[in-house]
Each structure stands twice: as C-alpha cells, then as structure tokens.
C-alpha cells in the first residue's frame, strides 16, 4: 500500500446497499486511515426498515465493515517502509 491510496467498496448483499472506502494518507512517521461509508436500504428491506431486527442486522454488517480496519492495519504494518 502506498500513502494516498484508496480502497473503495460497494456491497449489494444484505439489508442495505453500502459503499465507501478506506483512504490512506501520510502523517508524521505513519499512515492515517480514514473510513467513510454510506448505506441505503432498498427493495423489500426499505419497506421493512422500521422493524427493530432489521436495524440490528444492518448494524452488525456495518460493525463487520468497520472491523476490517484492524485487518488493514495489520497488512500495512507488514509492508516495508517506502
């Protein structure tokens, strides 16, 4: 990975379509990672979005997406310094 890199994603499965990315930039002696995501409930899930269990389901998916930050950190730490 190089500073200034972007890793973008678009997820179409589950209770909502989610898109966003991880944005890397050089800062002091390290790398800053910014995570941004948007979600939109669609189709039958849009109609059911008022149900509590669906909100919980979406929250679990978002938590999983955010958890990828730990994995990205490990990958970045394994890369040789540029």
Is the whole-model pTM more than 0.85?
A: no
Q: How many CB atoms within 10 Å of residue 22?
A: 19
The beta strands (E) that lie in the chain are given as 6-11, 17-27, 30-40
Q: What is the mean pLDDT of the chain?
A: 76
Residue 71: predicted pLDDT:
85
The per-residue pLDDT for range 31-52, each reduced to its tens digit, is 888 888 887 766 555 555 555 5
Residue 67: predicted pLDDT:
84
CA distance 76 to 69: 10
Mean pLDDT within 50-58: 62
**Per-domain residue ranges of the chain:** 6-76
Q: For the sheet containing 6-11, what is the strand order?
A: 6-11, 17-27, 30-40
């Amino acid at each position: 990975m190089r500073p200034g890199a972007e890793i973008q994603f678009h997820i179409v499965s589950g209770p909502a379509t989610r898109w966003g990315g991880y944005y890397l930039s050089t800062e002091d002696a390290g790398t800053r990672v910014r995570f941004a995501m948007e979600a939109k409930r669609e189709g039958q899930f849009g109609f059911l979005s008022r149900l509590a269990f669906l909100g919980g389901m979406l929250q679990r998916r978002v938590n999983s997406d955010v958890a990828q930050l730990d994995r990205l950190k490990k990958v970045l730490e394994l890369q040789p310094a540029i």
